[in-house]
Structure 1
Amino acid sequence: MHTQHDAKPDAILVEDIRLGQDDMKSQSSLGGPQLFQNDAVVLIPTPSPDPKDPLNLATWQKYSIIVIVGVYSAFAVLGTSGLGAVYPYVMAMYPPEEATRATDLLTYPTLFMGIGNLFSMPLSVAVGRRPIFLASLVLLLASSIWCATAKSLTSHIAGRNIFSLAAGQSEALAPLIIEEIHFLHERSAKISWFVGVQTVGTAVMFIATTAMVPTLGLKWWYGVIAIVTGVTLIAAFFLLVETRFDRPVDADGGLVHLQFDQQGNVDPKGDETLLYQVTTRQNHVLQPEVFGPRTWSHDLRIFHFKPDWNSTLTFYKETIYCLLIPNVFWLLLLNGTYLGLYVYQASSFAQVLMAPPHLFTSMQLGYVQLVQVVDCMILIPVLGYGADFLVKTMSRWRQGVFLPEYRLIPLAFPAACAIISAVLYGRGAQHPENWPWMTIVGPYHLGYFAFIGCNVVSIAYCVDSFPRKAGPLLLVICAGRGFISFGLSYTTVPAIATLGYDGAMNIIAIVGGVLAIFLVPAFITGAFFRRLFTNRFFGGE
């Protein structure tokens, strides 16, 4: 099986590059790996000649994995947050005295998504990504059937909490899988495609929810989720391979020390040590005769590694270290603030638009949600391909050397969108008689774009900064904001009642603006904190 990269769609050949120590020191002194070599993009991490390396997957299979993970995430998000669109119908299912407790159907899922990440991410390190992802799909399927057949509110709440445990992997494990099958220079674009599939799927099903629940009932809504989850489980079993791969540490810098025999084949017992590098202008020849071929029996195995339970404790320790990295903690706060903006707007836009003078119907609210597709049309080219183009351009300007801080520059765009969104939405919601309905709909989608844009930038930056700690970093950013969301869900109504829409939105705009200013010191200090934590806490990896 051959992989496909930017310049050569047929196959990619291995070239052995002898680089002197002076070249290595030059790269190190510039502060980052060499992304360009002779005007060609260096593939980072360096792909192995082993056909079973997930970086060597065919392009069609990589996109299949993006679609599978994206569809799973879309219906996971739909199941946890979609009830808000039809909440009056849900309330009507239960006696009036249970109305207060019925709000647990909306508030607890975000908490349990965060808890799910706390357990699943360390387990994915101990046993592999594939078994945890498949187990999540099985649990998602079983819990959706549970919710569809629940006879009481208590059972319904319990089923949704279990559903949310399984849905949590859409936040951290899903982008980790996408990151592990792609190279540094293409990560923003591929993460954007994943977010795009997720967003489009959720938006389309949101409008379907507003039509389905009033006519067919909540049972069939969960039934559709179960059916799609079952199909996704089958597709994942056959196409989503294990993406964890143990590769040399120096592969993260684009150069790998390998032993070769006299015929030029990779051989651990070979007499000659060479620095091995692959670029988009070189062909990469796989060596199944040395490492063994990638076969269906290999891909379909559930477990590929002997469980390493001690690694779970190491994972939690490294998660704490990652939380202490100033730039990572800043990104967590930024993600939490933009998520807070989206939570406040998502929790209130329906009641604002359905009340006079706008008088929207439930179906019209569904169409409003469908406009999130436009967010993806902006996200993928601007913060996906645009960010990767910016990274390559700035690396060329700096003698071909890549710095993770290049990833932070596009963050200015969603930051500006968040501030504009908060200010306009607050005024349109507080004084609907003076502002058109677009003052609600436009800022609502602008706020969502700010959140997902910040998410894409944060994931790419953190993974590029500490490639060996991608799991703990994603847990901090993705699961951390889930806990923030849970806290915000309880403060939405009281804050609006006390401060008004404009007061609550002004506070978020100010906090978001102040945090955005830290983009400049984060860009300047990123290399310092990266070296500090790599050498002092992460063993120099």
Structure 2
Amino acid sequence: MGLGVLEDKHLSHVPGTALLTDVVGSGNCHRHGELNTSALRHGTGRDSDVLLVPQPSDSPNDPLNWSLLKKDLMLFFICIDTAVVGAWGPMITPGFVEMTSQFGISYNKLNGDLGYGILMIGLSCFVTNSMAVVWGRRPIFLLGNLLLFISSIGGFYAHSFNSLLGFRLIGCIGMSPFEVLVTTTIADIYFVHQRGVRLAAWGLCLSIGVGGGTIISGYIIQNLGWNWTYGICAIIFGIWIIVLFLFCPETAYRRDDSLNTDLGTGQENVNQITGRENLKKAEGGSAGTEDIVEVEIEAIDRATTNNTWSEKKHSYWHDLKIFHGRVSDDPFWKVLARPFMMLIFPQVLFSFFAYGLTTSWLVVVGSVLAQLFTAPPYNFTVSGVGLVSIASLIGALIGAFVSGPIADWIIKMMSRRNGGIYEPEFRLVLIVITFVLGGMSFFGFGWSLQEQDPWIAPVIFYGLQYFSVGFMTIAVYGYLTDCHRDKAPEAFAAINLRNIYSFGMNYFISDWISSQGPKEVFCIIGGIHVFICLCAIPMYIYGKRCRSWTSRVKIFEKVMRA
């Protein structure tokens, strides 16, 4: 048992489990027990004992071999884009009360009908994700920005509710790549021990957009009108199409299976080397853990030394091509169906409930801020409702700066204590923070509103929601990435079915609060949140066995190979 994670009794290498750190001994930092791991590539500086997972190839065009500056600059541009995309959805919510008068419809109908955009994001995720798996990430990012640019222009000139709704739906299709592909891109270009901070950066920018965007939009709506929120976004998306075209190359890359030390692929290469181990097993013996690690090291060494890379480093002008051909041989329709089938995987199903339902609460709460704070005793103006989001912005900022480094530190610390072996379940430890603070935030938010406490009380609890949920986001996305890195886009598309739940909640949350009161509503939400967090305990304990089960049972194999 590795730090509470139950060992599997069926596979020698469970996908997701990887040798991450050396066990220092005999004055040689590149050793794992008695095994020499010098053939494998390691990190640098204080991470010099950390093995790079996955192992990069020798190709100069492998994104894992890009300089850290190039990777971080690319992620920076994508994260800024993500912030604007995050703001684009809820930016008109401070003006909902004003818009109900303009269009002559009820608050609940306005909120519910615009909620069709959330449904559109959830459904279009499957299409844009499948396109990215087959044809690459770069063209889909550019397509998403183009659709958002077109819809923002349409939203600026829309003067009826139906035309606004139509352009919103087009824009929501453009938003869908940013629900899935940013985390997939992080998995494409960063190693396991580097992903926590980058996932936190993405989560921070998304939260800044969702929460902080309404701060600015409140003033825009009050002084210029809600149409101008779309006009300003159209300018930004127009500029960012050019930025992504110039600075964000394709990240999908095919490398030798033996280098994917976290996936358990390349087993054929290992088997060729381990003829002696098979003979040993036939004679009644068994290969120990160190034997398995040793032959995997040898397989990786052969993969890197036997391949003579004939390809030259691509020029900058080559990288500017929008389309680089197919990056997967799988038929499009099979990739399209795979996310639905992956919901039967225990780790994907857990992630769907843990991440999906928890983050859906944030969408739901944001959609009713105007209803809650424009009414007595608070009587906020439109810009005042927008300023409530300062709390979510602060919570997201602090959460990102704390959660990212903690996430990477935890997996390295736990791997060292586990004899150098990394288990994806180590990511789930972060959910402890979400369990405690998240529960407090939902209970406190509803209770303080019901008791009509001073505005600062519910606002603080609102900020605490964003702080705590950030830990859940990093834990779940990191866990799912490490469990199914080769199928990460499909897995992320599966858990983003949560948008359908958000859509349904939008339809009745306003009336539910009006009839039952905020205390009862948010205490129920808080109770569900606590239960979901507690489900992480059995997932942590049995997660490795679940990964083994889904990699060797035929029905799961068919899904992965579909």
Q: TM-score with structure 2 length normalisation?
A: 0.81
Mapped to 1, the partners of 2:530 and 2:214 lie a distance apart of 31
Amino acid at match of 1:145: I
Deviation at 1:213, TM superposition (A): 1.7
Contact 1:45–1:184 (Cα < 8 Å) also in 2: yes
The one-character-per-residue Cα deviations of 1:315-372 (angstroms, maximum 9, x if unpaired) are 2443233201223212211223323432343233333333333333333332321233
* Corresponding residue of 1:235: 243
Structure 1 residues 302-341: aligned runs within 5 Å: 302-306=322-326, 310-341=330-361
* Corresponding residue of 1:6: none
After superposition, the Cα gap between the structure-2 partners of 1:315 and 1:292, relative to the gap in structure 1 and judged at 3 Å, is same
Work out whether 1:35 is the aligned partner of 2:10.
no
After superposition, the Cα gap between the structure-2 partners of 1:56 and 1:288, relative to the gap in structure 1 and judged at 3 Å, is farther
Mapped to 2, the partners of 1:202 and 1:419 lie a distance apart of 21
Work out whether 1:471 is the aligned partner of 2:489.
yes
Work out whether 1:82 is the aligned partner of 2:91.
yes
* Corresponding residue of 2:288: none
Amino acid at match of 2:70: Q
After superposition, the Cα gap between the structure-2 partners of 1:307 and 1:189, relative to the gap in structure 1 and judged at 3 Å, is closer
* Corresponding residue of 1:526: 543
* Corresponding residue of 2:187: 179
Structure 1 residues 489-500: aligned runs within 5 Å: 489-500=506-517
* Corresponding residue of 1:392: 412
Work out whether 1:381 is the aligned partner of 2:401.
yes
Deviation at 1:276, TM superposition (A): 3.7
Secondary structure, counterpart of 1:136 in structure 2: helix
The one-character-per-residue Cα deviations of 1:229-249 (angstroms, maximum 9, x if unpaired) are 111111100111111111223
Instruction: Give the alignment partner of residue 342 of structure 1, picking from 342, 357, 362.
Output: 362
Deviation at 1:99, TM superposition (A): 7.2
Deviation at 1:201, TM superposition (A): 4.2
Work out whether 1:150 is the aligned partner of 2:158.
yes
After superposition, the Cα gap between the structure-2 partners of 1:219 and 1:347, relative to the gap in structure 1 and judged at 3 Å, is closer
Farther off after superposition, 373-382 or 497-506 = 373-382
* Corresponding residue of 1:55: 64
Structure 1 residues 75-154: aligned runs within 5 Å: 75-94=84-103, 96=104, 102-103=110-111, 106-154=114-162
RMSD: 2.9
Contact 2:124–2:176 (Cα < 8 Å) also in 1: yes
Work out whether 1:454 is the aligned partner of 2:463.
no
Mapped to 1, the partners of 2:249 and 2:141 lie a distance apart of 10
Mapped to 2, the partners of 1:306 and 1:376 lie a distance apart of 37
Deviation at 1:291, TM superposition (A): 2.4
* Corresponding residue of 1:270: none
* Corresponding residue of 1:509: 526
Deviation at 1:70, TM superposition (A): 1.6
Mapped to 1, the partners of 2:343 and 2:258 lie a distance apart of 25
Deviation at 1:486, TM superposition (A): 0.6
* Corresponding residue of 1:219: 227
Contact 2:415–2:422 (Cα < 8 Å) also in 1: yes
Secondary structure, counterpart of 1:247 in structure 2: coil
Contact 2:203–2:473 (Cα < 8 Å) also in 1: no
Contact 2:245–2:320 (Cα < 8 Å) also in 1: yes
* Corresponding residue of 1:372: 392
Contact 1:144–1:222 (Cα < 8 Å) also in 2: yes
After superposition, the Cα gap between the structure-2 partners of 1:355 and 1:93, relative to the gap in structure 1 and judged at 3 Å, is closer
Tell me the matched-pair count.
493
Q: TM-score with structure 1 length normalisation?
A: 0.84
Work out whether 1:66 is the aligned partner of 2:66.
no
Farther off after superposition, 227-236 or 173-182 = 173-182
After superposition, the Cα gap between the structure-2 partners of 1:354 and 1:417, relative to the gap in structure 1 and judged at 3 Å, is same
Contact 2:184–2:489 (Cα < 8 Å) also in 1: yes
Deviation at 1:451, TM superposition (A): 3.0
After superposition, the Cα gap between the structure-2 partners of 1:409 and 1:364, relative to the gap in structure 1 and judged at 3 Å, is same
Deviation at 1:417, TM superposition (A): 1.8
The one-character-per-residue Cα deviations of 1:419-449 (angstroms, maximum 9, x if unpaired) are 11111111111120xx222221011122223
* Corresponding residue of 2:377: 357
After superposition, the Cα gap between the structure-2 partners of 1:49 and 1:334, relative to the gap in structure 1 and judged at 3 Å, is same
Contact 1:117–1:172 (Cα < 8 Å) also in 2: yes
Farther off after superposition, 49-58 or 368-377 = 368-377
Gaps of 5+ in 1: 1-24, 259-272, 279-283
Amino acid at match of 2:230: Y
Mapped to 1, the partners of 2:16 and 2:481 lie a distance apart of 16
Gaps of 5+ in 2: 1-9, 23-29, 31-47, 271-296
Amino acid at match of 2:17: G
Secondary structure, counterpart of 2:354 in structure 1: helix
Mapped to 1, the partners of 2:146 and 2:90 lie a distance apart of 20
Mapped to 1, the partners of 2:210 and 2:359 lie a distance apart of 17
Runs of 4+ in 1 over 6 A off after TM superposition: 254-258
Deviation at 1:526, TM superposition (A): 0.5
